[in-house]
Structure 1
Amino acid sequence: MIGKKIKRLRQQKGYSITELGRLAAVSKSYLSQLERGLQTNPSLQFLVKVSGPLDTSIDYLLQDSNGQIHEDNELDEEWKVLIRQAIEDGLKKEDFREYRNYMKFQEWMREQKKS
């Protein structure tokens, strides 16, 4: 599900797997495995990295076809622990959005330096 969304967004942007891997600073082989359904539970860090160049949100990537976030049994244990810890630490949705925007800004800055 997540891999199919990433592939569709990547193709809409006109990116090759290699190009998206470079822009997001992720492994193109892992990206390929995810798109083909060989990997199904990407880390939060991976989703943050890839969502920037695709101009999408992590929420969108995690939603099923009905617009609902995946059921708990579809999240690996790392996701569950990270989400629980963040909530226990007082992280709010807006904080997460700000972090995501910061990561997008950092990517933009890296791209500006390359230009």
Structure 2
Amino acid sequence: MVGERVKKYRKEAGLTLTELADRAGVAKSYLSALERNIQTNPSIQFLEKIAAVLNITIDHLLKDMDNMEPAGDDIDTEWRKLVLEAMNSGVSKEEFRDFLEYNKWKINQK
């Protein structure tokens, strides 16, 4: 069920129900009803907002990705958590890119 997957990814991201609802700009009551499988037919727009905050694709919410063959471009849970932690700590995309460029430069200096 979609609600169970939303709850799973929310918890993996270390977010409370309130935090996810606030960041996604959705009603906490609706999100709660979805996670408890009371609401079972969320709109694509709703799922897009949730997926964006969780840094996952809508497919992750619609399909049981744990039982599917991994695609070459899928990012594992640990990487997703690291990226979410960086985002939540205020690291901008530009700062992250700068770090990557510095790291490449440092490796090439050896």
Question: Match for residue 31 of structure 1?
Answer: 31
What is the correspondence of 1:64-79 to structure 2 with a 5 Å cutoff?
Answer: 64=64, 66-67=67-68
After superposing on structure 2, the runs of 4+ consecutive aligned residues of structure 1 that deviate more than 2 Å are 64-67
Return 5+ residue gaps in structure 1 as ranges. Answer: 68-107
Whole-Å Cα distance in 1 between the matches of residues 10 and 59 of structure 2?
A: 17
Whole-Å Cα distance in 2 between the matches of residues 57 and 32 of structure 1?
A: 20
The amino acid that maps onto 2:33 is Q
User: How far 1:52 sits from its partner (Å)?
Assistant: 0.7
Cα deviation code 1:74-109 (max 9, x no counterpart): xxxxxxxxxxxxxxxxxxxxxxxxxxxxxxxxxx8x
TM-score by length of 1: 0.55
Matched, 1:48 2:48: yes
Question: Match for residue 9 of structure 1?
Answer: 9
Cα deviation code 1:50-74 (max 9, x no counterpart): 001111101121114654xxxxxxx
| Identity %, equivalent residues | 49
TM-score by length of 2: 0.58
The amino acid that maps onto 2:5 is K
Aligned pair count reads 70
Return 5+ residue gaps in structure 2 as ranges. Answer: 69-86, 93-110
User: How far 1:13 sits from its partner (Å)?
Assistant: 1.0
Whole-Å Cα distance in 1 between the matches of residues 25 and 35 of structure 2?
A: 16
Whole-Å Cα distance in 1 between the matches of residues 61 and 8 of structure 2?
A: 11
Whole-Å Cα distance in 1 between the matches of residues 61 and 15 of structure 2?
A: 17
Whole-Å Cα distance in 1 between the matches of residues 60 and 14 of structure 2?
A: 19
